[in-house]
Structure 1
């Protein structure tokens, strides 16, 4: 799950996701990470480890 308030849109989680399920979405002048098909997520937490602001967690 992505905490969109905390997410800075740096894209490190997108690059770390081996399944390529994360993408960056744009909302006005702000970017944030968004998970595509959450059922396909393997919960490896590589994205959470790459996030410098701890905006991702396994739920």
Structure 2
């Protein structure tokens, strides 16, 4: 049985919408959303997250914790 883990939290104010976390997530839990003229990452399927941390490592501005 897998151990429980925390899901990544995304700070939309820090996120630049580069999409690196989206590309790094093999489970496709994260997507880019558009608000006005700005893009930001959003965790859309936390139930699929396996806690691998690839999205955290991929973020150049440390918007994910």
TM-score above 0.5, yes or no:
yes
- Structure 1: where are the runs of 5+ without partners? none
Alignment pair present for 1:39 and 2:47: yes
User: Structure 2-normalised TM-score?
Assistant: 0.83
Query: How many Å apart are 1:39 and its aligned residue?
Result: 2.1
Higher radius of gyration, 1 or 2: 2
Return 5+ residue gaps in structure 2 as ranges. Answer: 1-8
Equivalenced residue count is 57
**After TM superposition, which residue ranges in structure 1, 4 or more long, deviate above 2 angstroms?**
none
SS of the residue 1:6 aligns to: coil
Pick one of 23, 27, 36 that aligns with 1:28: 36
Question: Which residue in the other structure is 2:56 paired with?
Answer: 48
How big is the alpha-carbon RMSD for the aligned residues of Structure 1 and Structure 2? 0.7
Task: Determine helix, strand or coil for the equivalent of 1:32.
Answer: strand
Offset at 1:51?
0.2
